[in-house]
Amino acid sequence: MTEWTIECAEEDCEVCEMKCSGSPVGRTCPETGADIVRATPIRSDGDRTFSLSNRAGLRWRTHVRGSLMKGQTIGGKLVCAICRKPIDIDDAGKISYKSKSGRLHREAPPIDHYGPDWRHRKRKVERDPVYRRGGVQKQYKMLMNAYNAMPLRITHRHCNLARSKGDA
């Protein structure tokens, strides 16, 4: 069961959270009977679930970034694995940058999944007979394990974006 922060169509509703499996959007609010119009899952530090991304297909496990940050620290600073310069982070472990539109963004430092052997790991998994015979869930799990396997590294945002991401 996932815990959700919810908003229903009724303005006087005082229910803020509910537990249910799946998204509560479209269901009825237990207090007012109105439709729930917005829901956000409440994530905890212990939440180690995978999620499918509509853009990228795969996402890293939550705990991977923390172990990488601990491993990259030199004198309290993170070091970019590509340019070897320090990465400036705030107390929450976030980087800040301004986009072309002038909007300030805060996010976790990027993880470079395109290390020298990601394509080889992916091909090896795809050639595995267990992968070929397995269902979608089994294939997804095997790809996630290969995707999150070391070596992963923390980089500057601009260093990570400047790298070629192709198979070459």
Q: What is the pLDDT of residues 131-167, one digit of tens each?
A: 888 888 888 888 888 877 766 777 888 887 787 665 4
Report if residue 135 sits inside a domain: yes
| Neighbouring-strand partners of residue 7 | 38
Residue 76 and residue 131 in one domain = yes
In the chain, the number of structural domains is 2
Residue 33 and residue 109 in one domain = no
DSSP 110-122: PEE---TTHHHHH
Residue 88 and residue 129 in one domain = yes
Report if residue 19 sits inside a domain: yes
DSSP conformation class of 35: B
In terms of residue numbers, what domain contains 127?
62-162
Other residues' Cβ atoms within 10 Å of the Cβ of residue 80:
21
Would the pLDDT of 100 be above 70?
yes
Q: According to the model, what pLDDT value does residue 164 have?
A: 67
Predicted TM-score (pTM) of this structure: 0.43
